[in-house]
Amino acid sequence: MSLLSRWFTATSDVLTVAVLGRRRVETTPPPAPPVSPVSPLQDIGARLRSDESDVRMDGLRDWVAFGESLAEHRQPALDELCAVLRDLPWPGTQVDQRWRMVLQATLAARLRPGPGFWLGCDLDLRHTTLVDFDLSACRPRTVRFDGTRFLGDTRFDQATFLGGFDASGAFFERHVQFTGSVFARGLGLRGVAVCGNGELSHIHVAGPVVLGRARFSGRADFTGARFGSEMDCSFVRFGGRAVFRRAWFAGVSSFAGTWFRGREDFVEASFGGESSFENTRFGHRVHAD
């Protein structure tokens, strides 16, 4: 056999092996991806998002049972319920609207002292639409409402917030009530818009208060409020009456650039630290006797 013939024979054998190997690779099915087991809470969350009301209610009952079974289940359960609320469409159907109210009431029931109370839980409802939201007399830890839309009337009165409270950029369609509430780590309302009245009388805030660039269309009532740290009330726009009668400011307070379009009342207010009213505008005579 000539050298050229031997080269053709060897090349043919190599190509045959390559083709057969390729066929074996092509005909071998790819391995199936591993299936991640679904946790009980994920299963509950899926049912809470169902379009069928019976499935939703079954999921809600299992949600309560899951949170009650172990103390360490409570925070993950609340996080999942907040996520379900955040995912609800707006305005949605009447069924969606009724379901939103059921979820809100269930949430508040877990945070209000009494039977079924879950102590030491955080609440994250950022960028959520809530309707006639009622957290009165509740006792959560840290709460987040950044960018949240509160439609209807909102109630936080007589509540105790053991952690921080932050509702920066939130929108309140009507009235919001904080009367008699306690804030252990501060109150953040930077840039909020309150289209109705803001009732904050007799609140107690141990940490800093941030109201910068907030907008109150109606009355803003801070009668008897106690601010134990610094307060930033700069560039706030009070469209209605602003009442700080008998309020107590323990730290530095700033009303710089604030516009009081309605009547303002600082009668018997006490300032323990420095206060600034630089470039403040008053639409009426100041009451500070």
> What are the tens digits of pLDDT across the range 162-182?
999 999 999 999 999 999 999
pLDDT band for position 289 (cuts 50, 70, 90):
low
SS3 of 24, please? helix
Distance of alpha carbon 148 from alpha carbon 189, whole angstroms = 12
Residue from 253, 90, 83 nearest 171 by CA: 90
Q: Residue 287: its pLDDT value, please?
A: 57
SS3 22: helix
Q: Give the pLDDT score at 21.
A: 47
- Per-residue confidence band for 19, with pLDDT thresholds at 50, 70 and 90: very low
Q: Is pLDDT of 221 > 80? A: yes
**What residues are paired with 265 via a beta bridge?**
243, 287
CA of 28: how far to CAs of 19, 21, 25, 31, in Å? 14, 11, 5, 9
Rounded to whole angstroms, how far apart are CA atoms 247 and 266?
8
Confidence bin at 123 (pLDDT 50/70/90): very high
Q: How confident is the model at residue 252 (pLDDT cuts 50, 70, 90)?
A: very high
DSSP notation for 71-115: GGGHHHHHHHHHHHHHHS-SS--HHHHHHHHHHHHHHHHHHSSST
* pLDDT higher than threshold 90 for residue 12: no
Q: Report which DSSP code applies to 141.
A: S
What average pLDDT does the segment 50-63 reach?
96
Residue 283 pLDDT grade (very low, low, confident, very high; cuts 50, 70, 90):
confident
The label of the residue with tokens 């009355």 reads 219
Pick the residue with more confidence: 262 or 213?
A: 213
How does residue 84 score in pLDDT terms, banded at 50, 70 and 90?
very high
Say what the pLDDT of residue 35 is: 55
Mean pLDDT of 39-50: 96
At residue 38, the pLDDT reads: 82
* % of the chain with per-residue pLDDT over 70: 85
Q: What is the pLDDT of residue 15?
A: 40
